[in-house]
Amino acid sequence: MDKNRQFQLFLLVSVFIVATCGLIYELVAGALASYLLGDSVKQFSFIIGTYLFSMGVGAFFAKFIKKDLINRFIEIELLIGLIGGMSAVILFLLFQKAVHFQIFLYLFVFLTGCLTGMEIPILMNILKNKVSFRNLVSDVFTFDYIGALIASVLFPTLLLPKLGVMGTSLLFGLINILVGISLCIYLHKEIKNPRQLHVKAFLSLAIVLTAFYFSNDILKFTESNLYQSNVIYKHSTPYQRIILTEDQNNYQLYLNNNLQFNTKDEYRYHDLLVHPAMAAAPNVSKVLVLGGGDGLAVREILKYNEVKEVVLVDLDKGMTDLFRTNEILRKHNNNSLNNKKVTIVNDDAFIWAKNNQQKFDVIIIDFPDPSNYSLGKLYSSFFYKTLYQSMTNNAVVTVQSTSPYFAPKSFWCIHKTVEYTYANIVPYHVYVPSFGEWGFSIFSPNPTIHLNKVNRRVDHLKFYKYDLNSYTDFPEDMKAENLELNRLDNQSLVRYFDEEWSKI
Residues 6+ apart with CB under 8 A from 398: 273, 274, 276, 277, 363, 364, 365, 440, 441, 442
Angle at 108 between CA 102 and CA 109, to 5 degrees: 90
Q: Look at residue 140 in the predicted model and tell me its pLDDT.
A: 77
As a whole number of Å, the CA-based R_g of the chain is: 27
Q: Are 410 and 455 in contact (CB under 8 A)?
A: no
Q: Look at residue 343 in the predicted model and tell me its pLDDT.
A: 98
Q: Is the pLDDT of residue 114 over 80?
A: yes
Residue 495 Cα to chain centre, angstroms: 18
Q: What DSSP string runs through 171-191?
A: HHHHHHHHHHHHHHHHTTTTS
Q: What is the pLDDT confidence band of residue 193, given thresholds at 50, 70 and 90?
A: confident
The answer to whether domain 3-223 has CATH 3.90.1150.10 is no
Phi, psi of 340, deg, nearest 5:
-65, -20
Q: Is 366 a catalytic residue?
A: yes
Share of the chain above pLDDT 70, in %: 97
Q: In 336-453, which ranges are E strands? A: 342-345, 360-366, 391-400, 424-432, 436-444
Tell me which of 3.30.70.120, 3.40.630.10, 3.40.47.10, 3.40.50.150 is the CATH number of domain 262-501: 3.40.50.150
Q: Average of pLDDT values for 321-326?
A: 95
Range with lowest mean pLDDT among 23-32, 94-103, 237-246, 263-272: 94-103
Share of the chain above pLDDT 90, in %: 64
For 368-413, the pLDDT digits (tens) are 999 888 899 999 999 999 999 999 999 999 999 999 999 999 999 9
Q: Look at residue 220 in the predicted model and tell me its pLDDT.
A: 78
Q: Average of pLDDT values for 241-246?
A: 89
The domain limits of the chain are: 3-223, 227-261, 262-501
Residues 6+ apart with CB under 8 A from 413: 480, 483, 484, 485, 486, 492, 493, 496
Specify the higher pLDDT residue, 291 or 164.
291
Q: Is the pLDDT of residue 91 over 70?
A: yes
Q: What is the pLDDT confidence band of residue 44, given thresholds at 50, 70 and 90?
A: confident
Q: Is the pLDDT of residue 225 over 80?
A: no
Q: Of residues 139, 366, 369, 498, which has the active-site annotation?
A: 366
Q: Look at residue 156 in the predicted model and tell me its pLDDT.
A: 85
CA distance 24 to 173: 10
Q: Look at residue 4 in the predicted model and tell me its pLDDT.
A: 66
Q: Average of pLDDT values for 18-27?
A: 88
CA distance 288 to 40: 28
Q: Look at residue 75 in the predicted model and tell me its pLDDT.
A: 93
Phi, psi of 258, deg, nearest 5:
-105, 130
